[in-house]
């Protein structure tokens, strides 16, 4: 039995049969064993650029792995570049992303191009990146959608908890307290509806924004969530309860009903006799873009937290 193979370039197929070459149109790419669609017409596209990790610490050199998938066969080899987008809109080429299975690239030929860089940022903020590539038959390079790596500050609580925090928050520890507050400024944060502390004027507080707090409570093993809640939130009704992992430890995520910050999460992490309690508070309407933005920062603070 004779074996044959056939390939396509757009709507055109080449059939290799018994040493002869036959031109076919309207065929589907493949062999008898496998069929693969190869796009060769239209505007080339870049996959989604990603970075791991996507959060780094200001002033600390951090290796970051950038990857992008490109499946268009018109891509010119070794033409994929990683770009840093400057504040004025121009771009700086940082290096070539490769699909060679060497250095930072995991597997050769899987259409995932990789580049690992050490990033050191002096200032907090977002650093924007794009990937670009050259394609046969296309005059201009194609660029991916931009993505951001966040550079955040770091602080350590009195209990030894290490937290990264965004540039729009300031770490504050109130007098005679072990609670760490990440809030809009050094002023007390009191969203609308809160009770004004005695001796303070409205001008003495911040009432717009969001805050993240970290407090602790001791517990006697074994840990029982209901006992901690009865001490920390004795008059509140639980709305939702779920779990996640924070700093390698099991954590409980709880929201409460019928209170000023209803729907805002409390994250409770027991470890070696100490309960670490993170709370998110916001002056914005739950579910609003501003509320969601602060909540995203809250989860990123948690994901970067290192417990003692």
**Over its length of 308 residues, how does the chain's per-residue pLDDT go in tens digits?**
444 444 444 444 444 444 444 444 444 444 433 443 454 568 899 999 999 999 999 999 999 999 999 999 999 989 999 999 999 999 999 999 999 999 899 999 999 999 999 999 999 999 999 999 999 999 999 999 999 999 999 999 999 999 999 999 999 998 888 899 999 998 888 876 567 777 777 788 888 899 999 999 999 889 999 999 988 888 889 999 999 999 999 999 999 987 778 889 999 999 999 999 999 999 998 889 999 999 999 999 999 999 99
173-204 residue pLDDT tens: 988 888 999 999 988 888 765 677 777 777 88
**The pLDDT of residue 182:** 96
pLDDT at 203: 82
Q: How many CB atoms lie within 10 A of CB 52?
A: 12
The DSSP output letter for 236 is -
As a three-state string, the secondary structure of 264-308 is CCEEEEEECCEEEEEEEEECCCCCCHHHHHHHHHHHHHHHCCECC
Residue 299 phi, psi (nearest 5): -65, -35
How confident is the model at residue 193, as a pLDDT?
59
pLDDT at 40: 59
Q: CA 192, CA 222: separation in Å to the nearest integer? A: 39
User: Concatenated DSSP letters for 96-142?
Assistant: E-B-SSSTT-SSTTSSEEEEEEEE--SS-EEEEEEEEE-BTT-SS-E
Q: pLDDT value at position 11?
A: 46
Token readout for 98 is 């490769």
Helix (H, G, I), strand (E, B) or coil at 206: strand
DSSP 260: T
The rounded distance, in Å, linking the Cα atoms of 218 and 273 is 6
Per-residue 3-state assignment (H helix, E strand, C coil) for 32-73: CCCCCCCCCCCCCCCCCCEEECCEEECCCCEEEEEEEECCCC
CA atoms within 13 A on the CB side of 90: 3
Query: Model confidence over 92-117: pLDDT tens digits?
Result: 999 999 999 998 999 999 999 999 99
* pLDDT value of residue 9: 46
Q: What is the pTM of this model?
A: 0.77
- 242 neighbors 255 (Cβ within 8 angstroms): no
d(CA 308, CA 299): 19
């Amino acid at each position: 039995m004779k074996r044959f193979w056939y390939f396509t370039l757009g709507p055109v197929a080449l059939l290799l049969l018994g040493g002869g070459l036959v031109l076919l149109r309207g065929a589907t790419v493949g062999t008898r064993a496998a069929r693969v669609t190869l796009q060769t017409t239209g505007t080339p596209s870049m996959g989604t650029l990603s970075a791991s990790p996507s959060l780094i610490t200001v002033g600390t050199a951090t290796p970051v792995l950038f990857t992008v998938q490109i499946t268009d066969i018109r891509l010119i080899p070794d033409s994929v570049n990683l770009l840093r987008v400057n504040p004025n809109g121009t771009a700086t080429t940082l290096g070539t992303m490769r699909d060679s299975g060497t250095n930072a690239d995991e597997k050769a030929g899987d259409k995932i191009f990789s580049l690992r860089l050490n990033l050191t940022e002096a200032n907090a903020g977002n650093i924007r990146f794009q990937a670009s590539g050259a394609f046969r038959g296309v005059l201009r390079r194609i660029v991916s959608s931009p993505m951001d790596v966040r550079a955040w500050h770091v602080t350590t609580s009195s209990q030894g908890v290490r937290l990264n925090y965004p540039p729009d928050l300031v770490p504050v520890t109130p007098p005679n307290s072990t609670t760490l507050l990440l809030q809009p400024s050094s002023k007390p944060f009191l969203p609308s509806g809160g009770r004004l502390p005695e001796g303070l004027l409205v001008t003495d507080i911040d009432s717009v924004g969001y805050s993240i707090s970290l407090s602790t409570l001791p517990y006697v093993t074994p840990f029982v969530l209901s006992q901690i809640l009865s001490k920390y939130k004795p008059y509140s009704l639980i709305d939702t309860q779920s779990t996640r992992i924070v700093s390698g430890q099991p954590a409980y995520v709880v929201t409460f009903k019928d209170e000023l910050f209803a729907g805002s999460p409390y994250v409770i992490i027991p470890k070696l006799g100490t309960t670490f309690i993170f709370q998110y508070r916001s002056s914005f309407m739950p579910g609003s873009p501003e509320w969601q933005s602060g909540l995203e920062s809250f989860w990123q603070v948690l994901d970067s937290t290192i417990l003692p």
